[in-house]
Amino acid sequence: MININGALVSFLIVICSQINAQDLEPKNTVNKEYSWNLLEDFSDEFNGSSIDWLKWSKNKSLPNTNAWKWNNDSNVTISDFEGENSAALTMKQNARNKEDNGTYFKSGCLQSQKQLPVNFEGYVEARIFGSDINAKEAHGLNKRRGVCPSFWLYSKFYENKDVGEAIYTEIDVVELQQFDYDGNAPEGKDNQDFITDAESNLHLIKKTDSGREWYRPKQPKARDSQLNKYELPGKFDPSKGWHTYGCEITADKLHFFVDGIKVGKSMDNTYWSSNPMHVIASLGLRVPFVAFSNNRFQAVNPKKNDRAKKNIKAMPVSMYVDYIRVWEKK
């Protein structure tokens, strides 16, 4: 027998959710005169009982990572966390520390199936609760470090570009809890990041006569145009509460927001809308579970590294995503 009343209630809930979603607006913008159209294919309130894998990529065409693997089957779940129905992205050590192609951890990510178009103008926003990692055996900064909750946009590699054009583009809407040490920081600047520091950086690979040339935000040649480091408003701890992170993308500028407050600096949109881009939230590894060499993060065996041994007891750990919303400029 069909439960007519139950079906009607479910139908009304879906309809009301869609109506409410259409009425939503970005928390704050630089261009107040703009109006916005919510893109349902890139947006999710995560209010259901399971992840919508027709909207998000479960295991197809996920980002290449050298220091960990993705396993969305077990590491992305719906969770009732701190008052919100949300998506939990979890970093786990492999059972018995079993090596998997040189890695020892698996994590989860939410990557849009579709890509934002070339020359996209709009606004992307996510509400995130960071990863509360606290290794009791570790000391000082090491107690809180090991993972990086992130919300970002990135393109695939387009090798058929002309010399000087962008093969790969990436906009980090936010990277949290990195505890990065910037050895190239200008004299007089603090090299060490703390848990109250965040970055909204840009990454780029250009086509050259010989192949590829990386432009990373902490390289001297890219610092001015791609590095965007700042203290979180009020120096809040992102692992202790819900906060909203957004980026307004215009034809010529990128503007970043935390809880509706403009942060860091506005960046020139020189290359970053020249490729189609996926929208993604992910939980990545950081020191002491990785080491940076050969232009990328490399895996560290947590059983053979003294610092990692102390932090491994704080695993597994999760970040939580209350919603992802993407608007296009009307």
* Cα–Cα distance, 126 to 44 (Å, whole number): 10
pLDDT of residue 294: 80
**Whole-number pLDDT of residue 272:** 96
Structural contact between residues 324 and 42, judged by C-beta atoms closer than 8 angstroms: yes
Q: What integer pLDDT is reported at residue 309 of this predicted model?
A: 95
The pLDDT assigned to 146 comes to: 97
The pLDDT value recorded for residue 15 is: 40
Average pLDDT of the chain, as a whole number: 92
Give the pLDDT confidence score for residue 16 in this predicted structure. Answer: 42
Residue at token pair 């809180």: 144
pLDDT per residue as tens digits for the range 15-39: 444 434 545 899 999 999 999 999 9
Q: Where are the domains of the chain?
A: 4-329
Q: What is the largest CA-CA distance in the chain?
A: 74
Q: What pTM was computed for the model?
A: 0.92
| Average pLDDT of span 34-52 | 97
Of residues 10 and 55, which shows the higher confidence score? 55
pLDDT at residue 1 greater than cutoff 70: no
The model's pLDDT over 141-188, given as tens digits with 9 standing for 90+, comes to 999 999 999 999 999 999 999 999 999 999 999 999 999 999 888 776
Closest CA to 197 of 173, 227, 171, 232: 232
pLDDT of residue 6: 47
pLDDT at 158: 96
pLDDT of residue 188: 64
Q: How far apart are CA 219 and CA 217, in angstroms?
A: 6
Q: Count Cα atoms within 13 angstroms, Cβ side, for 268.
A: 7
Query: Phi and psi (nearest 5°) for 125?
Result: -150, 140
Q: What is the pLDDT of residues 295-320, one digit of tens each?
A: 789 999 999 999 999 999 999 999 99
pLDDT > 90 in the chain, percent: 87
In sequence order, the 6+-apart residues with CB closer than 8 A to the CB of 117 are 276
Which pair of tokens denotes residue 191? 């090299």
pLDDT over threshold 60, residue 54: yes
pLDDT over 90 (residue 89): yes
The mean per-residue pLDDT over the stretch 74-97 comes to 97
Confidence of residue 13 (pLDDT cuts 50, 70, 90): very low
Rounded to an integer, the average pLDDT of 85-93 is 98
SS3 126: strand
Q: Check residue 9 and give its pLDDT.
A: 41
Residues 6+ apart with CB under 8 A from 8: none
Give CA torsion, residues 140, 144, 149, 154, to 10 deg: 30
pLDDT tens digits along 105-127? 999 999 999 999 999 999 999 99
pLDDT for the residue 23: 59
The fold for domain 4-329 equals Jelly Rolls (2.60.120)
Q: Of 253 and 2, which is predicted with more confidence?
A: 253
DSSP track, 216-281: -TTSTTTHHHH--EEEPGGG--GGGSEEEEEEEE-SSEEEEEETTEEEEEEEE-SSTTSS-BEEEE
Query: How far is residue 5 from each of residues 1, 12, 13, 299, measured CA to CA in Å?
Result: 12, 11, 12, 54
